[in-house]
Structure 1
Amino acid sequence: MSLGSNNKRRIGRFNPDRHNRPSKDAITEAEIFRQREPIPEPKAPVTPPPPYEQKVYKERNKGVFKGKLTEEEALERIEFLNDKITNLVFMFGDVASSKTTVLSALSTYFRQNYLIVENSDNSEANKNINQNRNLMKKGRFPKITDANILHEYDIACRKSREEDWLNLTFIEMSGEYHREVSFERSGKLPREVEIYVRENELPLVIFLVIGYEELMRIGAYADENIDIDDQDTLTANFINYLTRHDIVCENIGIIITKFDRDKVQEDRLSHIQPKLKETLKQIENISASYKIFPFSVGKVRSNGWTDGDALIEQLDLSDCKPIIEWIIENFEEPQEESSNSLFGRIKRLFFED
């Protein structure tokens, strides 16, 4: 099933009481607010989805998925996704583009600045995120995600108790999955990946995560003999994949990681956009808007992030702020539903004669 033009209008909100208590280092006010201020149950959809606990597939994987899916497992996974009340944040990027670092930094920023509740069903994914956060606190970068591994990280967040909870599901996986979209390979995403962008009905935001050094061919990647995929071509192939399968995503974020290597402080993006010529052309072809986010985790000592010796001398997560605000903005737009959307059907059913 393709995503329609109304995919952003089905906002995923939920009651955090469906999950267990936050982990010890989560903001404790989230639990206090739940105790002192009962959160009303969301309006039930026409056909209420079954609780998470009834889904054996989820319990078996705990938010971490390994290897290839059979067609039966893929259909089961799609069914489970469509039952969830959430918003997907899909992170596309090459091997060592720092997707894991970005997700770990965003998770840390959420904990420092928002009230959050993690989905305890995803215990294995939560464990990995916690380990990565601890590494970054100690000045180390997270390890590269192993090949054929996919993580699903669920949180509910809100800025204050006056706001509604917003459900977010971050999808992060090894770059080997994404290289398959290149026309030099299969030209399509593996089945276990495409279910997140092609065959579910959830609202979707896509981030293209691109390493600055890889894009500019500088630093550790200055040697032209180093065999890496052209980053502009790879991301352009992915956008072309969305076009060929009629997948609608109205907003695309482009995160340029490892930006601590850039010494140019003025007009920081002017020299990046020409390097993304094909990608931006493909985005224009699908009439989507985009925003580029330079990203760094602070002061870093190393010639590159992938040599195993990189150290974070001073952790600075300020680059997370505009990314998170952009995500929330995309999922919190006024719901001007058409009569055929989910909210439109509920409105006709309960409020119209």
Structure 2
Amino acid sequence: MNSPKNILVVTTSTIQNIKIEKYLKPISAHVVAGTNVFSDMFASFSDVFGGRSDTYQKQISSIYNEAVNKLKIAAFEIGANCILDLKVDADEISGKGKSMFMLTAIGTAIIIEKSSLKSHEEESQAFGIATTEGIKTLKKKKEIITKAENTQQIFDEDFWDFVTANQVKEVFPFLLRAYSKRLAQFQQDPSQNSQFQLSLMNYVDSFSEDEKTNLVYDAISTENDPALIGQLLVLISRLQLLNIEEINKLLRSDNFILQKRALAILHYDKPYYDKQDIDSFNEIISYISQDFKERGTRSTKKQMLSSKEKEVWICECSKTNDGYGTESEFCESCGNNIWGFKAQSAQPANTIKALRDKVELIQELI
């Protein structure tokens, strides 16, 4: 069991042909959303048929899945590999004229025999059927992808609802392009920028952990637009997508730009840590200490009207700068320090400190 996503969840109090090794304890998870999540949809139902709305149903399913995923993480943290007797309740919380919608998932965390879990997974197979609803969804998905490829797609509320609910990962590159093209417009109207960022974050968050990681880190490795990189870093930070394996790929690449992006990401978090993460962070600390060298050159030059020499450093851009080449000294021409980093960038030294602090905190909790 190496991830919360692999935890088996059932609504029954027993599992046929599964050996239970240990009952741990009851666990719960909560998801709170503003009632406007639903009232906004009621204001303009464009997909109502037969008294039902696909958008409303998919929104409810998304919140339900979020609650169950949080329950899995709670079970994983105490060493369980299965949750029995799952129940999900919905309540409305109100006060001071405002109301919120809360979904609560509860269950019993247990440990089942690993061989039984594997057998259960092997027996689980999807039914080979194609529903009318599935055909309609696939048709609309293809239409959206085609429009996006031809830069004809309108990124309105209906678009975001569909690609998020149906996890249309093919449009992700086009969403990044759209963000880049709208930067000037966003600078004039920050509210539009915030709304686009929120919609993009909800869209990415709809995918599984592996799919999120693949989408975002593939883009981190290939994009060159600083604005897009900034947006991707925002996603990694808010969605806690720090991934050690992907970080190691970036650090060990021959591309210094990718290495610098890895340092920035190391200041973010992942949802949970284990003992293996401690070892991984210590290895990364060692790697950063040894492999991030000064990219400029230290030298001296004679002072005017004096035979004494003073220390200077020569930047990669060939500009000679006065000073000792410290982390806080930056080139007058390109703005980089002697290690090749700008003032606002994550530096090797402060990244190492952040990782050591994180390791210390993890060790106290484990």
Q: Which has the higher contact order (CA 8 A, sep 6+)?
A: 1
Higher share of residues assigned helix = 2
Bigger Rg, which one: 2
TM-score, L = length of structure 2: 0.28
TM-score, L = length of structure 1: 0.29
